[in-house]
Amino acid sequence: MCGFVGFTGNIVNREAVLKKMAERIIHRGPDSGGFHMSGEGDSDSISLGFRRLSIIDLADGAQPMYNEDGTVVVVYNGEIYNFMELRDELIARGHVFRTRCDTEVILHGFEEYGVGLAAKLRGMFAFVVWDSKTNTLYGARDYFGIKPFYYSPLSDGSLIFASEIKSMLEHPGFRREVNPEALRPYLTFQYSAMNETFFKGTYKLPPAHWFIFKDGKMEINRFWDVDFTKKTSASYEECAQQIDSRVRESVASHKISDVKVGSFLSGGVDSSYVTACLMPDDTFSVGFDPNDSQHKFDETGEAAELSRLLSIKNWREMLTKEQCLDAFADIQYHMDEPQSNPSSVPLYFLAQLARRHVTVVLSGEGADEIYAGYEWYDETPGMRKYKKIPAPIRRGASSIASHLPYFKGHDFIIKGSGRPEDWFIGQALVFPENEACDILKPKYRVGPTAREVAAPIYKRASGLSELEKKQYLDLNLWLPGDILLKADKMSMAHSLELRVPYLDKYVMEEAATYPAKYKITDKTKAVMRDASNKTLPPEWVNRKKMGFPVPIVRWLEDPTFSEKLKKAFMSDVAAEYFCQDKLVDLLSDPRHNRRKVWTAYTFLVWHDQFISTSRF
């Protein structure tokens, strides 16, 4: 696990700028660094920087890495789990390898396959390859967006790119300017939901895409997508057996390392299943001090019990309110963009705990999106009964209801249309769209609505079942924008490599063939739960999903923190973006408005770290 930075074109103090960019992300790679600079003109100049966290081939895996004659160079962040197979294939085609690390597979793979390389890789990755023979920059981001990739095209035709935005701020051509379109959808989604980031003119490379940058022009293409259209003829039990075999194989692939590997462990089935398949020496869990959380926010007891049953050492830490609030500014600094999912806070401390003992951890992210584990994927008994009414009638009622003022049953009728694109925007909904617009100053009401953000994704999913449309949206929006972003940024803040074996293209391709009736029965994630029962005790298999609950109500009701919130909401910065009276009104009922208060506060904390700050 590492981090890279880079830019094309010539600038004043080029070497010094490159080194400052790399230094800004030293937490991603504290073990070593490397640099490459070549070319003198705008079209043939490349500057690459790299920070390394040594995981595989500790002695020979340094980057930037070059081909035999030095004409092709790569910097790369991630892990390729099929690199030995590709290595053998490339050797058979005449390529000569000098190391046994996966980075060299990307280097020779580009020489052999060109832009087709990305689709051949199995793993998590973001990388760039510079070909000095053609002055071409090629890059790609993995299938699910596990690893980040940011880029910023400049007006002079050059390009800045990096694993983290904060490093790009060290480049003199970078625009440190808030993107006015980002704030409105953020207030609804709780995360940065568009390809253009909170920094105007800076973008995220979408998951499962590659790009070519040449002569100041950037071409971006998708190399993979989830296919829900092909369905298996296998029985439910056969699919459960298939899942068990595939998850075990994926965990085995993900544990390859020359350093110690552990596992995050909560009380839920996802991380428990991974842990039972991995059987590491150590597991790691965090909860909240009972004085702050009334015990309901603590699954560490279940994690400790499973570790005991598996004869694994479990390391636990109970977090205090003071710890969490004191670290929040640093959390937002590492996040790069505002992200108000409260679970980022315990995840930050969980990664810190794990790094004291291991360098790599496996975690359970992705199972809910792949196997349909969220409650919003299921239906209430009342909705199942309502859906016996013919679909054209339900859709007509939904269309009429959507144009009427709110009344009892309004949302039920709209959801009953069978068209999630009419109402479902993913797993997070903080400010409803009208409230998000209403609380902002007119200048910042220009961003797209949540439905407008979701619309092109739903368009690609037309023809799928209702459940699969929801899954497809979450796989493309919620998963990379929230779940995986915080997983990467919080683990890398502590120089910890986090691997996610459910988010494997083979796991996904098999799961996409399972019919909806296998995924949701009297429980969510049904066939996956039954697969895990071959390894786990029933009480872990069928435990209700808790997520990573955080006692933010208790925090907001603390007098000292409440006063800090009020001061932030009444600040000049808040007045620039928000209708301040409406913002302050949220504090009159912090229990009811807890997510809205937290989301607005998160933006202001981020703003203090990146915009109105002397940190850069």
- By annotation, the residues acting in catalysis are 2
What is the token pair recorded at 304?
A: 């400790």
Residues 246, 113, 475, 28: is their CA dihedral positive or negative? positive
CA angle 416, 420, 422 (to 5 degrees): 85
Q: What is the largest CA-CA distance in the chain?
A: 72
Q: Is 456 helix (H, G, I), strand (E, B) or coil?
A: helix
| Cα distances (Å, whole numbers) of residue 245 to 428, 476, 510, 542 | 32, 26, 11, 20
Return all residues near 550 (Cβ < 8 A) that are at least 6 apart: 288, 297, 324, 342, 343, 345, 346
Q: What share of the chain is helix, strand, coil (3-state, %, to 5)?
A: 45, 15, 40
What are the phi and psi torsion angles at 159 (to 5°)? -140, 135
Return all residues near 199 (Cβ < 8 A) that are at least 6 apart: 152, 165, 174, 175, 176, 177, 178, 179, 610
Pick from 28, 22, 126: which is nearest to 351 by CA?
A: 28
**Which 8-state DSSP code applies to residue 477?**
T
Residue for token digits 């910042």? Answer: 444
User: Whole-angstrom Cα distance, residue 478 to residue 425?
Assistant: 9
Strands 360-362 and 497-499: parallel
Pick from 391, 453, 459: which is nearest to 426 by CA?
A: 453
Task: Work out the number of other CB atoms within 10 angstroms of the CB of residue 340.
Answer: 27
Q: What is the helix (H) or strand (E) element at residue 285, kind and residue range? A: strand 282-288
User: Whole-angstrom Cα distance, residue 90 to residue 82?
Assistant: 12
Q: Which residue stretches of 367-432 are H helix? A: 367-371, 381-386, 391-401, 410-415
Q: Which residue stretches of 216-297 are H helix? A: 236-254, 269-278, 290-293
User: Whole-angstrom Cα distance, residue 551 to residue 565?
Assistant: 16
User: Whole-angstrom Cα distance, residue 180 to residue 173?
Assistant: 20
Residue for token digits 């600079």? Answer: 37
User: Whole-angstrom Cα distance, residue 610 to residue 335?
Assistant: 11
User: Whole-angstrom Cα distance, residue 279 to residue 263?
Assistant: 9
